[in-house]
Amino acid sequence: MKVAGSVALVTGGASGLGAGVARGLVAAGGRVVITDLASSAGEQVAADLGANAAFVPVDVTQAADVETAVAAAAAVWGRIDALVSCAGISSGQRMLSRSGEVHTLEHFRAHIEVNLIGLFDVLRHTVKHMAANEPNADGERGVIVNLGSIAGIEGQVGQMSYSASKGGIIGLTLPLARDLGSRGIRVMTICPGIMDTPILASLNDEQIAAITAGNVFPKRLGAPADVAALVCHIMENTYLNGEVIRLDAGMRLNIS
């Protein structure tokens, strides 16, 4: 699949890694439909990207709205060639706090609802549209790229909810690729390391250096452009399928 001329649906595309992916795809000649909360900056991000970007508001936890939103996204340019799922939340909570309070069920449920169930709900409606695409010379009709996290492989203290949700994404990668292979739809998961997103905006150079000290090389935060570049490569390398790729500069998390 060529990025140029393709249509990608990017969830969570109003900020952070999702916005970076949207920018990268448009810069490579693709068209993007950004989905995010109605209260997000999605409309402005799409406007900034120009005629090859559009915005469709959706809350991925509202199942009644997801199918309608995906249909609206498919109607913008009459197709969806790629789905890049970046929508997600992340916050920490220990199983037992210092005062002895137990981990809340609400915290765990929220991460599963947004990061895993919401992702799956968008995905299941999107593949219906992908399956209707005319196949290319390789028989390919579409590609799905889900954003996991290295925390889904080796989560740290306080990341149980987040790690479980991202581990679920990792776990569905190969079965989903096998399920959709007969339709000519590939499935890949990217597991980013520590990325330069708005959540780290308040950190100074010394703090960033401490965070990235565990990188093998390079000793810097990952950038949204790094994720976008990998998404573009996955789209154009048809032989990539059913795999999880770490994008983390060789970092391995410790237990601190």
- For residue 162, indicate whether it is catalytic: yes
**Cα 2 versus chain centre, distance:** 20
> 147 - beta bridge partners?
190
Of the candidates 34, 82, 81, 35, which has an alpha carbon nearest to the alpha carbon of residue 61? 35
Catalytic residue, from 35, 162, 176, 195: name it. Answer: 162
Of the candidates 78, 63, 82, which has an alpha carbon nearest to the alpha carbon of residue 11? 82
Q: What is the DSSP string of the chain?
A: --STT-EEEEETTTSHHHHHHHHHHHHTT-EEEEEE-TTSSHHHHHHHH-TTEEEEE--TT-HHHHHHHHHHHHHHHS---EEEE---------SB-TT-PBPPHHHHHHHIIIIIIIHHHHHHHHHHHHTTSPP-TTS--EEEEEE--THHHH--TT-HHHHHHHHHHHHHHHHHHHHHGGGTEEEEEEEE-SB--GGGTT--HHHHHHHGGG-SS--S-B-HHHHHHHHHHHHH-TT--SEEEEESTT------
Kindly list the catalytic residues.
162
